[in-house]
Structure 1
Amino acid sequence: MRAIEVDGLFNVRANATGSPWLLRSGAPESLSDAGEIALSALRVSVIVDLREPAETGAVSHRIRVASVPVYGAEPPATGSLEAIYEGLLRTRGRALTAAVGAIADAEGAALVHCTAGKDRTGLVVALARLAAGVSEEDVIADYVRSGPEVRPVREEHAERIAVSVDARERAEVLRLHLESPPEAIAHALAVIREQGGAEAYLREHGLAPDRLAALRRKEGASA
């Protein structure tokens, strides 16, 4: 995934700069008119919002939104990245797969986001790209780029949470909200492998063969 600039978005990457099929970012509430024009030029036809309803704010863009709440509850404010990712993969497979399905169904490109664009987005993007034929190495390399992009935007929020916990938990809270270490996504990939790989995981949770084929075609066309 390659970093791109879209006015009003942060932590933005696309799988290709010319005709991407997949983009990822943080929350789009500040997307400007110029940013919307830029997304339209990249043929973004749907924005896949992984947040819970209580997290969303007003938007002014005219791009279709597919809402797929991944947690099904209030997002965790504390805990380890590895435990949270594994919990989502083991208990929220239907939601993760629904998000991948929305990507597969996009007529053009899909933009996937949560709040920071690193955790929920990281899992959904990983599953979609792995099913499309991208290597684990590429998935890890993409994931680790989020931390430096997220920190300037989310540090104040993370610090507010960190002051409310025991000093021994502070580092883990900041890691959860601000970092994207390779070992965290590597743990998630190990859970996916344990369940037969991304394609088997998505099939098990309801993704039809034609939608898996659509992901592979998209990746092949943008390679």
Structure 2
Amino acid sequence: MQAHELLLDGTRNARAFGTPAWLVRSANLDRLSPAGAEALRAAGVSVVVDLREPIERAAAAAPPVHGLPVVHVPLYRLPDGPPRAGSLEGIAELLLDERMPELASAVAAVADAAGGALVHCAVGKDRTGLVVALTLLVAGASRAQVVADYARSGAAVGEERAAEVMRELAALGLDAAAHAAAMRLHLASPAAAMEHTVDRIEAAGGAERLLLDAGLGAERLALLRAKANAWARA
């Protein structure tokens, strides 16, 4: 189960599973062009799942041009927006330990989509990566496939955001170790980080158990598997 790159003018880090797509991941769509919106619809996307906090969405200059229904599922539920420092592993643990209902809601939106669902956060790396990982695991993807997909994101976001991230972190007064961890948090997607996350998921009983306990429902798990299987047979 491997995604192919999807060219969407006005965003980055976009990959699609299937043609037509049952699942797409990307960075935010705030600057999506009309051509990008047309490509999104042509890929089969029928709903957008936005994982950002309200403060992040409010910073957008204008509503997205794609015209598709949007399901808002803020994962962090923090008034000041996403954490600016910390480790990739620690933040994934926080979400798995304390935000499983929100993660299950995001996965449910993918299952409920009439066509494909596009999942995004700000840059399409970590929040998106966790929702996509849970979705892929219950849909039948292997651990190696999930890890490999996550590891593709760093190259798509790193260089473009490096200067911006360094400016943001300069104001925090972090020591060298914390600064290095924060740079990794914002810019990298190492396979080791997703390996750690999948270890946590497996230690908790697996993606299916976590999502069922968070209220997803067996019927939605079946829908996800049916979507992935239909793509595999196409």
Q: Normalised by the size of structure 2, how large is the TM-score?
A: 0.92
Which of 82, 90, 111 is equivalent to 2:118? Answer: 111
C-alpha separation between the residues in 1 aligned to 2:122 and 2:178? 22
Where do 5+ consecutive residues of structure 1 fail to align?
none
Equivalent pairs counted in the alignment come to 222
Q: Which runs of 4+ in 1 moved over 6 A?
A: none
Match for 2:139 among 124, 129, 132? 132
1:50-89 matches, cutoff 5 A: 50-56=51-57, 57=60, 58=62, 59-73=64-78, 74-89=81-96
Q: Please, which moves more after superposition, 174-183 or 1-10? A: 1-10
Are 1:188 and 2:197 an aligned pair? yes
Match of 1:47 in 2: 48
State the Cα deviation string for residues 59-107 of structure 1 (Å, max 9, x = none): 2320111000010112100001001101110000000000000000000
Q: CA separation in 1, counterparts of 2:121 and 2:164?
A: 15
The alpha carbon displacement at 1:183 in A equals 1.0
Counterpart in the other structure of 2:13: 11
Shift of 1:178: 0.1
**Which residue of structure 1 aligns with residue 181 of structure 2?**
172
Larger CA deviation: 24-33 vs 147-156? 147-156
Which residue of structure 2 aligns with residue 26 of structure 1?
27
Q: Deviations over 1:115-155 (max 9, x none)?
A: 01010000000000101111110000000000010113322
2:147 is the alignment partner of 1:145: no
Query: TM-score of the superposition, structure 1-length normalised?
Result: 0.97
Whether the 8 Å contact between 1:25 and 1:111 is mirrored in structure 2 is yes
How is 1:88-107 mapped onto 2 (pairs within 5 angstroms)? Answer: 88-107=95-114
Percent of aligned pairs with the same residue?
A: 49
Give the secondary-structure state (helix, strand or coil) at the position aligned to 1:46. Answer: strand
* Aligned equivalents of 1:121, 1:15: Cα separation in 2: 14
Residues 149-183 of structure 1: per-residue CA shift (max 9 Å, x gap): 01133222211133232233221111000000111
Gap regions ≥5 residues in structure 2: none
